[in-house]
Amino acid sequence: MKVSKQVHRFPDTVASMKKAVYAGSFDPPTNGHLWMIEQGAKLFDTLVVAIGTNPNKECAFSVSERVEMLKNIAEQYRNATVATFQNRFLVNYAESVRAGYILRGIRSEGDYEYERVMRHVNGDLNRNILTVFLMPPREIAEVSSGFVRGLVGPEGWEKIVKKYIPLSVYEKFLEKFRNRMRLSNIGKNTDEYDSTPSPF
């Protein structure tokens, strides 16, 4: 008796079967992102690191700044490229660059529930593109862009933040947030001065 096998149909080129898209906001890129890029570069012939931009979402770093930071940390991987896309479903973008896979990271139960749903949504849109999940090491499992930004402010924050982002990103991060804090302090000092009654 012959047993029929259901075969998953990949895109029509061998190259596309070995190409993946790893997307995110990368605001800023973290050591967790770097780990994902490193693993993705090992797993696939080509890895597209794509910044998904949303005009309604306010980010700390501009798109051009994030592209520059990603290029700096990804340049060591010859098969990794950096790109951007806007106002598109990720699976549709992956199809447009002829990628056969979407690479996603799972850090927690919350991540898993969200990614599980999105994997099925993507499957409804294009069942030929598979989602590959990776779980980062324990020491960086809780690191996210929002977590890193949230460390800014208290005394000694510069030393703490350094543990969680690549060195080239750290330099840009310090420049950005030190300037913000300086301007914020100037504003506070101005308000205090303006609210002080004049003795004359």
Position 56 scores a pLDDT of 79
With a cut of 60, say whether residue 4 has pLDDT above it.
Answer: no
Question: Mind listing the pLDDT tens digit for each residue in 8-42?
Answer: 454 444 444 599 999 999 999 999 999 999 999 99
Question: Mind listing the pLDDT tens digit for each residue in 131-176?
Answer: 999 999 999 998 999 999 999 999 999 999 999 999 999 999 999 9
CA atoms 55, 173, 65, 182: torsion sign: positive
Domain parsing of the chain, residue ranges: 14-141
The pLDDT > 70 percentage for the chain reads: 82
Under DSSP, is residue 25 helix (H, G, I), strand (E, B) or coil?
coil
Question: Mind listing the pLDDT tens digit for each residue in 63-103?
Answer: 999 999 999 999 999 999 999 999 999 999 999 999 999 99
CATH architecture for residues 14-141: 3-Layer(aba) Sandwich (3.40)
Q: Rounded to the nearest 10 degrees, how much is the dihedral formed by the CA atoms of 79, 95, 18, 51? A: 30
Pairing of strands 80-86, 46-53: parallel
pLDDT level of residue 55 (50, 70, 90 thresholds): confident
